[in-house]
């Protein structure tokens, strides 16, 4: 089933530092400047990464970071609405959503739910998506009790969201304030895919991630039937704190950047039509490395997905921020390149993968302090979002 392009999305002492689910108890984001592609990734590259193959057409990406747009307050997500026209929207963690111009300018405010959420730690308004026909919007936010809320809004003719129309589809109890995930995707039939963290604190203390009866640590699918939403089901398991997830509009591959615990950050890629029933490994594994031994047998009951790339907590790396495949028209590109960053270093990087979804190198594009994600707009162009209140375009370089 092909997903609609409408969404192409710890303790309290760390609350003021980062909304990204912690990889250790100290997480932050990264980026750098374009250089020649290297077939070696980092000294911490995984066995999977080291087994990269040479592609027949030399991959290349000539990109760098453009001038920042500074008129934002903690931007966390961009989503695209396909209606009579195609329009980008940007969400701020405090609870506001605005139209987004192609040049990055902030447009009309279309929703304000700042009275329903609090932007602290890893909480707040975290995700935005649109119905396939553009008639409605879906948001993922933590409520005043800290629990995850998935809600829908109708959209008025002028493009603003009808706040009175809010329909709470589901509320998911969060046992701790961190690891809330936040992304939403919508397929062509209107089903929702919610990317949930493991419930928080550290080390998967309640062992939720591989427990199919819990929505935590999952891709949780919620399906509409005759105008009613079901209670949801575990579509895939074994996630720690997916930040972010994205669908490649060309290959229909699903990409997930999953924040690690103490040592390893990971990137996963899998065809969307193969996602149901897989385990991404947590907390039996952190990346490709054994973690909670008591979860290993349960992990092996699912189809395992190994990361296409992982990197270690060295040189101040601490927390991955996904991440989309570049499919725009403004940057010269050959091959498939996934753009991501790390919150602590601010380094923005591009990962090359070949036709077999094998790692074929990583390049640096620049640095954005406190980067919390890279997201594509309606034109397929990419923006690095920063908690410092700015968005930075990825441009030809």
CA atoms within 13 A on the CB side of 371: 35
Tens of pLDDT, residue by residue over 74-114, are 999 999 999 989 999 999 999 999 999 999 999 999 999 99
pLDDT at 23: 46
What is the pTM for the complete model shown? 0.88
Cβ(314)–Cβ(43) under 8 Å? yes
Tens of pLDDT, residue by residue over 105-120, are 999 999 999 999 999 9
Backbone angles phi, psi at 96, to 5 degrees: -110, 145
For each successive 10 residues of the chain (397 residues), what is the average pLDDT? 40 37 35 31 34 59 98 98 94 98 98 98 98 97 98 96 98 98 97 98 97 98 95 98 98 98 98 98 98 98 98 98 98 98 98 96 98 98 98 97
Distance between CA 354 and CA 283 in Å, rounded?
A: 28
pLDDT at 10: 30
pLDDT at 4: 42
pLDDT at 344: 98
Q: Domains along the chain? A: 5-12+20-396 (2.120.10.30)
| Residue the block writes with tokens 């031994």 | 293
Cβ(121)–Cβ(19) under 8 Å? yes
User: What does the block give as tokens for 134?
Assistant: 């553009």
| Residue the block writes with tokens 């995984």 | 46
pLDDT at 42: 32
pLDDT at 240: 98
Distance between CA 388 and CA 286 in Å, rounded?
A: 29
pLDDT at 16: 36
């Amino acid at each position: 089933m092909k997903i609609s392009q409408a969404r192409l999305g710890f303790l309290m002492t760390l609350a003021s530092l980062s909304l990204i689910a912690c990889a250790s108890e100290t997480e932050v984001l990264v980026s750098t400047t374009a250089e020649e592609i290297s077939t070696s990734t980092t000294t911490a590259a995984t066995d999977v990464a080291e087994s990269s193959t040479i592609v027949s057409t030399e991959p290349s990406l000539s990109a760098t970071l453009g001038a920042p747009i500074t008129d934002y307050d903690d931007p966390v997500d961009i989503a695209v609405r396909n209606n009579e026209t195609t329009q980008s929207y940007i969400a701020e963690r405090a609870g506001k959503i605005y139209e987004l111009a192609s040049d990055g300018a902030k447009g009309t405010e279309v929703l304000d739910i700042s009275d329903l959420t609090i932007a602290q730690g890893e909480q707040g308004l975290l995700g935005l998506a649109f119905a396939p026909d553009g008639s409605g919007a879906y948001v993922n936010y933590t409520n005043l009790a800290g629990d995850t809320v998935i809600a829908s809004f109708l959209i008025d003719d002028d493009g603003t969201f009808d706040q009175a129309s809010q329909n709470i589809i589901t509320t998911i109890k969060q046992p701790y304030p961190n690891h809330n995930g936040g992304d939403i995707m919508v397929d062509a039939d209107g089903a929702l895919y919610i990317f949930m963290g493991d419930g928080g604190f550290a080390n998967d203390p309640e062992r939720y991630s591989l427990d199919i009866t819990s929505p935590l640590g999952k891709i949780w699918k919620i399906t509409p039937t005759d105008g009613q939403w079901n209670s949801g089901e575990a579509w895939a398991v074994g996630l720690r704190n997916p930040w972010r997830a994205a669908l490649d509009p060309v290959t229909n591959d699903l990409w997930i950047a999953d924040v690690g615990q103490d040592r390893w950050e990971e990137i996963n890629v899998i065809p969307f039509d193969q996602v149901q029933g897989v385990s991404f490994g947590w907390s039996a594994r952190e990346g490709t490395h054994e973690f909670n031994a008591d979860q290993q047998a349960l992990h092996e009951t699912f189809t395992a997905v190994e990361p296409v790339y992982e990197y270690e907590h060295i040189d101040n790396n601490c927390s991955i921020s996904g991440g989309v495949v570049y499919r725009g028209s403004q940057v010269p590109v050959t091959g498939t390149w996934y753009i991501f960053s790390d919150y602590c270093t601010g380094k923005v990087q591009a990962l090359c993968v070949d036709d077999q979804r094998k790692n074929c190198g990583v390049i640096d594009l620049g640095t954005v302090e406190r980067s919390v994600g890279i997201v594509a707009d309606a034109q397929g162009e990419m923006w690095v979002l920063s908690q410092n209140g700015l968005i930075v375009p990825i441009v030809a370089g």
